[in-house]
Amino acid sequence: MDLPRIFTLRESSHRIHNPFTADKLAALGRALRLAPGTRALDLASGSGEMLCTWARDHGVTGTGVDISTVFTEKARARAAELGVADQVDFVRGDASGHVADEPVDLAACVGATWIGGGVAGTVELLGRSLRPGGLTLIGEPYWRQAPPTQDVVEGCGATGRADFRMLPELIGHFGDLGYDVVEMVLADQDSWDRYQAAQWLNLRRWLDRNPDDELTATVRAELATGPARYAQYTREYVGWGVFALMSR
């Protein structure tokens, strides 16, 4: 079991697989006031940029788990590049159901709450690895403005209005689950652009190198329609952020 190949093609140049820039990721690390030696678990850790840079900048230690062979290899290479391979390790495996051997100070799932069947299930999963008083990090999309039609909903990649919450609803949902929101850093339209637009260049360069691949028609269709759809729908209607939670 692995990520679909099209996903790794789209984000082949990405170090961060969500609408955060390096500056926003660094701002989040500073906002959390991470102490040296903080032990972290990052489920669906992608290419490992969060753990690796926080290990370098804050002395964090910990483990990332991701189902992608490609991204796990990139994460290990990034740890070596930054000189933190003795502080963090990356496991290639299914993050859904993964629980740390020992309680951690920080448990994160940044942008992949499907591993727990949604926000509630993912918060519960992370809680199984967290020490009392520890931090939970959840990265999640929300509606920037209410979609007026089903066409807009589907243009944003959702199936229904209920797939995402408005920002106040999402924060309220965390409260309903028994958690205080103690920090948040939100993507903006520019950071969304950097995430999405970089995918288009990745896809075009891949097309030029692989004109006869079995995925060529799929990639060509996505590149032909994706930029306009993003500009019309996702950029205007979908927000994204990382929320720091502490159990009440």
180-213 pLDDT, tens per residue?
Answer: 999 999 999 999 999 999 999 999 999 999 999 9
Predicted local confidence at residue 144, as pLDDT: 97
What tokens were used for 98? 């993964």
Burial class (CB in 10 A: 0-12, 13-18, 19+), 140: buried
Distance CA 52, CA 172 (A): 31
| Integer Cα distance of 40 and 135 in angstroms | 9
What's the pLDDT tens digit per position in 94-148?
A: 999 999 999 999 999 999 999 999 999 999 999 999 999 999 999 999 999 999 9
Average pLDDT, the chain: 97
0.85 exceeded by the pTM?
Answer: yes
Q: 10 Å Cβ neighbour count for 3? A: 16
pLDDT, tens digit (0-9, with 9 covering 90-100), for 208-235: 999 999 999 999 999 999 999 999 999 9
Q: Which two tokens stand for residue 82?
A: 């930054």
Query: Is the pLDDT reported for residue 2 higher than 90?
Result: no
Domain boundaries, the chain: 5-247
Q: Is the domain 5-247 a CATH 1.50.10.20 member?
A: no
Own/partner pairs for 74-77, CB < 8 Å, 24+ apart? 74/15, 74/47, 74/48, 75/45, 75/46, 75/47, 75/48, 75/49, 75/51, 76/48
Number of other residues whose CB lies within 10 A of the CB of residue 206 = 17
